[in-house]
Amino acid sequence: MREYSAYTLLKNALAGNRDWKPAWRKPDPKASYDVVIIGGGGHGLSTAYYLAKEHGITNVAVLEKGYLGSGNVGRNTTAVRSNYLLPENHRFYEHSMDLWENLSHDLNYNVMFSQRGCLNLAHTPGQLDEYVRRGNALRHSGIDSELMTVEQIKRLVPALDVSASARFPVIGGVMQWSAGTARHDAVAWGYARGADRRGVDVIENCEVTGFLRDGDRVTGVTTTRGEIRAKKVAIAVAGSTGRVMKLVGIDEMPIESQVLQAFVSESLKPILDTVLTFGMGHFYVGQSDKGGLIYGGALDGYNSYAQRGSLPLVEEVHSEMLALFPGLASVRVLRSWGGLCDMSMDGSPIITTGPLPGMYLNCGWCYGGFKATPASGWCFAWTIAKDEPHPLNAPFTLDRFHRGAIIDDKGQGATPNLH
């Protein structure tokens, strides 16, 4: 019997909802594990889940310094898509999409993944060509993408200003229908529960303060809840990568931690059934099942560990929103928050063994961390279990920058705040 279903919901309701079990246990850390994963966010938890599920490695601890899912998995605009230009990226994200499509069943936890599409609006012929290039790249890798005319776009999103008198008229768009949104927190909770039910210890309020070493080899961690030995130590801490790597003596990384703000409006009756991006700025928006518009823009543009954004960016994002939806001027923004983005030097992630023996590294997620959650964990688990990357993450090495084997979807070079 699956733990969560319409039947168990009814059964429990009749019993006054008193019989539900905790979604995950609250264990104390053991003295040693086969694998210790630092970071109880989406990627750390999914890594633990796939280690257990795909590789049978269950003597695993996930260490989270705060509450589970306190990082970017709960601080994003919930969009899931695989429409990246470069094959290294879109193959990886399409694998993620495959996992997303069955994730609720796999986890027996409804993550509310809804494939309502992601539409990139184009405003100049050159831009449309660029988007078509990307769409065609996807199609040649077996991934869906289609061109939409202004008329089709207008039908799909009646509230959108597609008039020729707009400052940047919409001239077309490229749609990925398989893209969509998911309930972000549910992803963390679902993976945590899935890992927990397979024997993984998910340990909250346990901050890593240092690494145990045997020569070069990493043999465990010291934490606020004691020393924990591990055959393998995996790091999946996104925006905190710089901080954690310094604990192991690696002072420089091809990563900058920057703050990215996101916003949600008051709940509105549905006006937007897909995820939209604006081509003449940096703006993306969707509407949640609760009715809030969830949207964001560019990074604030400077290094930050503060999870706090700046006012000029707030103004910019809302200006861009009204450039697309002039009818929403009277709607009000309800919440804002900031997440720490681990911006890599080419905009693509790092999932690799090393850089020290006994250590595994997962970082550099830029804007892509949430949508990557399943594939990131899946590939990282593979890499940890087999001590070598899966072909899907083989390009995402740490040394690719120095070698010039860069995977630069936006073509911006080593300028993290432009990726």
| 255 touches another protein (CB under 8 A) | yes
Q: How far is the CB of 214 from another protein (least distance, A)?
A: 26
Site string for another protein, 256-295 (x = CB under 8 A): xx-------xxxxxxx-x------xx-----xxxxx----
Q: How far is the CB of 241 from another protein (least distance, A)?
A: 8
**Looking at this protein, which amino acid is placed at residue 297?**
G
Alpha-carbon radius of gyration of the chain:
21
CB of 178 or CB of 219, closer to another protein: 178
Task: Please spell the DSSP secondary structure of 370-404, one letter per residue.
Answer: HHHHHHHHHHHHHHHHHSS--TTTTT--STHHHHT
Q: Which residues contact 349 (CB under 8 A, 6 or more apart)?
A: 362, 363, 364, 365, 366, 368, 372, 376, 396
Q: Which uninterrupted H or E stretch holds 137?
A: helix 125-139
**Looking at this protein, which amino acid is placed at residue 336?**
S
Residues 349-408 that bind another protein (CB under 8 A): 400-406, 408
State the number of binding residues for another protein (CB under 8 A): 140
| 129 touches another protein (CB under 8 A) | yes
Please pick, from the candidates 310, 354, 355, 357, the single residue that binds another protein as defined by CB under 8 A: 310
Rounded Cα gap, residues 95 and 381, in angstroms: 14
CB of 56 or CB of 251, closer to another protein: 251
Q: How far is the CB of 340 from another protein (least distance, A)?
A: 10
Query: Residue 93's closest CA among 413, 417, 409, 411?
Result: 409
| 5 touches another protein (CB under 8 A) | yes
Residues 314-333 that bind another protein (CB under 8 A): 314-315, 318-323, 326-333
Residues 145-164 that bind another protein (CB under 8 A): 145-147, 158-159, 161
Q: Which residues contact 9 (CB under 8 A, 6 or more apart)?
A: none
Q: How far apart are the first and last CA of the chain?
A: 46
Q: How far is the CB of 251 from another protein (least distance, A)?
A: 6
Q: How far is the CB of 102 from another protein (least distance, A)?
A: 6
CB-based burial of residue 28 (10 Å sphere; 0-12 exposed, 13-18 middle, 19+ buried)?
exposed
| 128 touches another protein (CB under 8 A) | yes
| 249 touches another protein (CB under 8 A) | no
Residue 69 DSSP symbol: T
Rounded Cα gap, residues 263 and 333, in angstroms: 7
CB of 301 or CB of 357, closer to another protein: 301
Residues 174-193 that bind another protein (CB under 8 A): 174, 180, 183, 185-186, 189-190
How many Cβ atoms sit within 10 Å of the Cβ of residue 135? 22
Rounded Cα gap, residues 266 and 158, in angstroms: 20
Q: Residue 114, Cα to own-chain centre: how many angstroms?
A: 16
| 209 touches another protein (CB under 8 A) | no
CB of 59 or CB of 310, closer to another protein: 310
| 254 touches another protein (CB under 8 A) | yes
Residue range at the interface with another protein (CB under 8 A); choices 139-147, 211-219, 223-231, 371-379? 139-147
Residues 290-309 that bind another protein (CB under 8 A): 290-291, 301-306, 308
Q: Which uninterrupted H or E stretch holds 222?
A: strand 217-223
Residue 306 DSSP symbol: S
Residue range at the interface with another protein (CB under 8 A); choices 30-38, 42-50, 65-73, 352-360? 65-73
CB of 57 or CB of 121, closer to another protein: 121
The token duo for 404 is: 């010039």
Please pick, from the candidates 60, 137, 230, 392, the single residue that binds another protein as defined by CB under 8 A: 137
Residues 98-127 that bind another protein (CB under 8 A): 101-102, 104-105, 108-116, 123-126
Partners of 114 in the beta sheet?
A: 181
User: Beta strand 180-181 with 79-80: parallel, antiparallel or unpaired?
Assistant: antiparallel
Q: How far is the CB of 354 from another protein (least distance, A)?
A: 16
| 140 touches another protein (CB under 8 A) | yes
Q: How far is the CB of 167 from another protein (least distance, A)?
A: 6
CB of 25 or CB of 198, closer to another protein: 25
| 168 touches another protein (CB under 8 A) | yes
Q: How far is the CB of 279 from another protein (least distance, A)?
A: 10
Q: Which residue has the tokens 């890593």?
A: 208
* Half-sphere exposure at residue 360, Cβ-oriented, CA atoms within 13 angstroms: 29
Residue 362 DSSP symbol: E
Residue 278 main-chain phi, psi, to 5 deg: -95, 130
| 247 touches another protein (CB under 8 A) | no
How many Cβ atoms sit within 10 Å of the Cβ of residue 167? 8
